[in-house]
Structure 1
C-alpha cells in the first residue's frame, strides 16, 4: 500500500507515541534553516547570550530589518502548541518532530492561513486576544520547508527578527547551531575585552589591595596578553568580559565556551550549549550581577559561584577558584570559544605576594571620613584620615569593642577588614565619627527564614537566596528598602508592610517596585486590614501608591474594515480591554510597543457598521469607556 505524505507523517507520530521513535538526531542537515534557506544569512542573537534575567535560549535570525519574510518549518512534524501574546514570544508556533525534538518560531507577524483561521475562531469563541492552544497532533501536520507564517516583531521583540529554538520534551534548550547551517558563516574568534580579578576571602589581594581589579588585555590576532605581571594572594575568582561576532556583522553575540588553565592544568570550563528552561534565571550567578546592574557590562565568571546549579560546568577543584600562595608563580590561560570552535586565548602571569602594610598619601584629604561595604562575607571599611600614621577603626557588637588594624592605606584612606561570619556589628567609630550599622539578620541560603521588625515582615523561601545575605532594611518616609537592587534573588520573597499614611481606597492601592530611575513597576498585593502582603523577585525599594486615574483612549482611525485606538495608563498599566459592535464582541489585537489596539473581524466579508463601545481597564480596576459609530 502506498501512503501519501500526510498519511506517512501521521503513522510516524503513532509510532512516536508508542515509544518506537529514534533518539534525537544531531546530524548536520536534519533541520532546514527557517529564514531564506540556502542563502547567506546573519544572526543578531546567539545561544547562551546574557539577558537581563535569563540565558538567551536560541537564535535571533535577521530578517532584512523588516517584517513579512516567509518562515519555513525546519523539519517534518506537527504543530503541538500555538500562542498569541502581547509580551514575551508574541506570536509563536511550536512544531514537534518525530525524533522528539521541538522547534519554536517566535515574534511572528502572522500564522499561515489554516492556523490563523483556527486561532481566530478560538479567539472569538473564548472572547480573548491572549490565547494559547495545544492542537491534536492530527490537526496540523507539517512538512519540512512548509511556510508556517511570516516573520515579525511581536511580543517582547526589540526589532524585526525570527527567534528560533530547539528544545526536547523536557524543555531543555539546545544550541541550534549544533545541527550545522551553511547559511551562517563564522570564522571570527571571540573578542576579549576585560579581565576581572575578585578576592573571595579575607586574605585575598590583587596588587596588595582587597578589591576587584580590572585589566585590559593587549590583542595580537586571536591572542591576548596582560602587559604586566599580576601580584596577588589568597582565594581569587576570575571574570571575563567577552563577546563573539559572526562574519559580516557587527552584532555582539554570546561566547559559548570558556576554559581556565593554571600551569597548563584545566581547573574550570563552562559550555553553554544546553540550558534547562527552569534554571535559566540562574544566569544571575553565572555573571557578576552587580557589574551588570550598575554598568550594563557582562562579566562571565570563570568559577562556579555559590547557589549556581546550572549543568554547564566542569570545575573539579575549588569550583574554579584560584588559591594563590606567597612566592609562587601561576601561568594563567583563559580560552574563549564560539559555537564554531573559533578560539581566542588570554595569557598572563600571577605571582604570589604576601600581603604587607603599605601607605600612600593624598594632599586633597582635608578631614576624616568613614564608609563601608560588604563584599561576600567581608565587611570592608574605608577610613580616610589626615594623620601621618593610620589609626584603627573601632567596631562594636553590643558592649563588645573590636579595634581593627588597617590592612593597607591608599591615598590617605586606610582599609580594614572584618569577617561578618564572626557576628553582626552594630556600629563603628573613627576619629570622632560614629556610624550606625543597619545589618539586622544573617539569612543563610537553603532555609526558610521569617524576619519581622516594627515596619515589615519578610519571609525568605528555601530557594530565595543563592548565598548568605546580611539583611538590611530601612523605612524612609513611605519608602521601604529591603536589601539592595544589586543582590539577585533566585525565588521570590514574601513581604508584609503596614503603611503609616492613610489609604483612601485600598481597591486602588498596591505595592510598586521603585527602579533606579523614575520607573515604577506594579507588584500588587493583598490587603488584610491595614496591612498589604506582596511577593517580589527583586530586592530594593518599595512604595504603596494609589492609582485613581482611568486609562487613556484615543481613536486613531475607523472604517468598515478596521478600527484602531491608542491606549495607555500612567501608573498601574493596562489590564484588559473589550470592544463591541452593536453588542457583539470584536477581537482587538494589542501591540504594546506602539500602545495600539486594532480590530480583526471573524468574517471579513461583513463590514464594520454600527455603535462601537471600547472599555479599557487598568490593573487598579479603573475603567475608561469610549463610544463611536461606524
Structure 2
C-alpha cells in the first residue's frame, strides 16, 4: 500500500511538471529538533493548513499531556529575535532566528526561561504595561539546539494546554513544519473525504438541471472514494471538497495539505498549503466556501481559484480550475488529497453533460402563491410558487422599465427564473399579484474605492475591501443597521458612518457593537462627530449603538506579601486596561482572559508586598472600578 501511495504522489507531481509545478524549498533533514520531548513519540492536535475563522492554521499544535509546564527546546542554534506577552492570540511567544534565515516560533508558553523572563519583567515595569513586544539584539539571547527556552502553557487564545510551533522565513511566510519529517510524529493514515460540493458559476450552468450548489456524500472503499450517483451537469462549474486528515494515535481532525483536480486524465488544479504569506492568511475566506463555513461550520476547500484570491498556493491551467461541461460529453473526475507524509486518498466520479431543459413539475398539494430570491455570484435567482398548472413569468422592474423573465426550470410547483445582475439592478419584482422590493442599492466592484451613501449610512469601500463584486443591501430597523451580508467575506476593512437616535444617550459611554447572527454583542467602537459615529469593520452584517454605563467588576482572590490576585470582568464593552499599585508603587499584573484572572509579579522577588493596595480597572466605554485594601 505504501509503495502505491508513493507511486501515485510521483505520478501527480509528474503531471504538473512542465506547467509550473509548486516550487518547494527542500528541507534540510535533521536540521530542526522537535521542540517537545525530542526523541520521544509525540502527538499533534493541529497541523499546517487547517481552516480557522479568519486564517490558515500556520504551524503545529503539539500535545503536552493535557498539562502545562513541559520543557520547550530550541529547534536549532540561533538567537531570540522577538518576544511578546499578551492575553490574546499567541499569548506568551518566543521567536528564534536561525543561521539559515528561517525563524521558529513557540507560542502559548506558560513561562520564558529565566534570563528572558527577567528581561521581560524589567521592561514591563519600565513601561508599566503587561502587553509588551520586544526585539532583542542578535547577541543578547543566543540559544543552542536543544536549549530549554521556556515551559509549555495555555496562554493567549489557546483552547487547552499545547505548544504552537511554526517555521517562517524572512518574508514572514509560514512553512509546513511536517515537511521536515520529524520522527517523533507518526502518520500512516490517509486523509478522509466526506463530501463534494458542485456550484454552477454562470447563468447557463446547472447541476442535475438546477442552478444551485449541490452537495454529495461520498462512499469509501479503502483509500478510494466514490459518489453513489452519476452527476448530470452543464456549463461552468466549481468543485469544493470537505476533507480532513488524521495522524496515527490521535482522533483530532487535522488539515489536509494538498488537493489535486484531474479531469479526463489531465490535471487542472493543485493547491499545496505551504509558504503562506502571513499578511495574506485572511484570504482563507476565498480558499474555502465561506458561506458554508459561516452557516454550517463546514470547511469545504475549493478546487478552483476564486476571484480576489492572491494566495501563492495554486497551480492551474485555463479557467483556474473551473470545469466547462458540454452537452453529451463525459467527464471522469478525480480529486486527490494528500497529507504531509504522502498518505493519499482519491475521490473518483463521473459527470455527464446534459443540456438544460424545462420540465413542468407540480406538487400534489395546492400551493399558495409566494416569491423569494437569492443572489449567487452575479445571478439573481427568483423562486416562485404558484397554484396554476403552467409556470408564469416574473415581472422585473428597473425604475419605469419592466422585464419579463421566463422560468428556466421547475422543481415541484416552484419555478426558477434567472437574471444576470451585470445587466442592471432591478428594484422590485411582481408575480401573481404579489409585489416585492429587492432592496439592491449599489453594485460595488472590487479593486476600486467606492463611497456609498443613503439617508442613514455612509459606507466607504477601500480598493482591497472586496474580493468580488458586491450587490449591496442595507437597512435600518429598530436601531439595528444592516450593512451587506454576514455571509460575504471582506479582505480589508470598510468604514461606516451612521447617525443613530441619540435622544437620552450618553455618547461618552456609547459605541457600535457587531451583533452577528446570535445573541453575541462584539465591541466595535467608533468615533463620535456630533451626532454621527464612524467605525471600521472587517465583517458585514448587523450593527447597533449600545450604551455601557456599568463599571467592570473586581473580586479579590488572594492577598499576601508574595501575591495578590483578582477576578475582573465587564458585561458589555470589555476590559480595556488595569493597573495596580502597592504602597504607591506600580505593580505588574498578569492577565489571563480565559478565566478572567489577573495576578501580581514582583520586580524584586525578595521584597514583600506591603501597604495599601489599589487596583483600577477600566472598560472600553471608559467606566472605571477601583479596589482598595491593605497587605
**TM-score (normalizing by structure 1):** 0.95
Q: Does 1:63 align with 2:64?
A: yes
For the Cα contact (< 8 Å) 2:292–2:299, is it kept in 1?
A: yes
* Cα-to-partner distance string for 1:211-267 (whole Å, 9 max, x where unaligned): 000111110000001122110001000000000000111100000100001100000
Is contact 1:199–1:212 with CA below 8 Å preserved after alignment? yes
Give the match for residue 287 of structure 2. Answer: 286
How many Å apart are 1:364 and its aligned residue?
4.0
Does the Cα contact within 8 Å between 1:25 and 1:99 map onto a contact in 2? no
**Mapping of 1:68-87 within 5 angstroms?**
68-87=69-88
- 1:458 match: 459
Q: How far apart in 1 are the matches of 2:43 and 2:482?
A: 45
Residue 491 of structure 2 aligns to a residue in which SS?
strand
Matched position secondary structure for 2:115: helix
Over 4 Å off, 4+ runs: none
CA contact (8 A) 2:77 2:99 kept: yes
Q: Please state how far the C-alpha of 1:396 moved relative to its aligned partner.
A: 0.7
Contiguous gaps of at least 5 residues in structure 2: 1-23
The whole-number CA distance in structure 1 between the counterparts of 2:104 and 2:292 is 34
- Structure 1 CA distance for aligned equivalents of residues 160 and 412 of structure 2: 48
SS of residue matched to 1:590: strand
Distance 1:24 1:139 in 2: 30
Contact residue 49 and residue 56 of structure 2 kept, 8 A: yes
Distance in 1, matches of 2:76 and 2:410, equals 65
Partner of 1:379: 380
Superposition map of 1:270-309 within 5 A: 270-309=271-310
Match of 2:149 in 1: 148
Alpha carbons 1:24, 1:101 under 8 Å: kept: no
Equivalent in the alignment of 1:204: 205
Aligned to 1:178, the other structure's residue is in SS state helix
How far did 1:607 drift? 1.5
CA distance in 2, matches of 1:481, 1:525: 16
- Matched residue of 2:123: which SS? helix
Post-superposition Cα deviations, 1:136-172, rounded to whole Å, max 9, x if no partner, equal: 1111110000000000000000100000000111101
Query: Counterparts of 1:177-188 in structure 2 under 5 Å?
Result: 177-188=178-189
What residue in structure 1 maps to residue 512 of structure 2? 511
- Checking the alignment, whether the CA contact within 8 Å between 2:502 and 2:531 is kept in structure 1 is no
In structure 1, distance between residues paired with 2:523 and 2:586: 29
Which residue pairs with 2:256 in the alignment?
A: 255
Is the 1:24–1:100 Cα contact (8 Å) retained in structure 2?
Answer: no
Q: Distance in 2 between matches of 1:525 and 1:252?
A: 39
Instruction: Tell me what 1:7 maps to.
Output: none
Counterpart for residue 122 of structure 1 = 123
Question: How far does residue 24 in structure 1 lie from its aligned partner after superposition?
Answer: 8.4
Residues 582-608 of structure 1 show CA distances to partners (whole Å, capped at 9, x for unaligned) of: 101111100000001011111111222
Are the counterparts in 1 of residues 367 and 413 from structure 2 also a CA contact under 8 Å? no
Q: Deviations over 1:554-594 (max 9, x none)?
A: 11121121111000001110000000001011111000000
Pick which of 24-33 and 56-65 moved more.
24-33
2:587, 2:75 → 1: CA distance? 35
Distance in 2, Cα, partners of 1:231 & 1:25: 43
Cα deviations by residue, 1:461-508 (Å, 9 ceiling, x for unpaired): 000000000010101121111111000000000111111242532221
Could you tell me how far apart the structure 2 residues matched to 1:127 and 1:266 are?
58
Q: Which position in structure 2 is the counterpart of 1:108? A: 109
Name whichever of 573-582 and 361-370 sits farther off: 361-370
Q: TM-score, normalised by structure 2?
A: 0.95
In 2: Cα distance, 1:373 partner to 1:485 partner: 14
The 1-side partners of 2:365 and 2:152 are apart by: 60
Secondary structure in structure 1 of the residue aligned to 2:628: strand
Equivalences for 1:122-521 in 2 at 5 Å? 122-502=123-503, 504-521=505-522
CA deviation vs aligned residue, 1:23-66 (integer Å, no higher than 9, x gap): 98721110000000000111111011100000011100000111
SS at match of 1:406: coil
In the aligned structure 1, how far is the partner of 2:88 from the partner of 2:273? 26
Whole-Å separation in 1 of the counterparts to 2:174 and 2:239: 27
* 2:594 counterpart of 1:606: no
Residue in structure 2 matched with residue 91 of structure 1 by the alignment: 92
Distance 1:398 1:279 in 2: 41
Alignment deviations for residues 268-307 of structure 1 (CA, whole Å, 9 cap, x no partner): 0000011000100000000000000000001000000000
Aligned partners of 2:427, 2:612: CA distance in 1, in Å?
Answer: 68
Q: Secondary structure, in 3 states, of the residue corresponding to 1:421? A: helix
Maintained 8 Å contact 2:178/2:340: yes
Q: Which moved more, 1:523-532 or 1:182-191?
A: 523-532
> 1:488 is paired with a residue of what secondary structure?
coil
| Alpha-carbon distance between aligned partners in 2 of 1:284 and 1:25, rounded to the nearest angstrom | 29
**CA offsets, 1:311-348, max 9 Å, x none?**
00011210000010100100001000001111100000
Q: How many angstroms apart in 1 are the aligned matches of 2:425 and 2:40? A: 63
Q: How big is the shift at 1:363? A: 2.9
Shift of 1:389: 1.2
Partner Cα separation in structure 1 for residue 366 and residue 175 of structure 2: 56
Distance verdict in 2 for CA 1:559–1:152, change over 3 Å: same
Shift of 1:361: 2.1
User: What's the C-alpha RMSD, in Å, of the aligned pairs?
Assistant: 1.1
Are residues 243 and 58 of structure 1, via their aligned partners in 2, closer, same or farther at CA, if it must alter by over 3 Å?
Answer: same
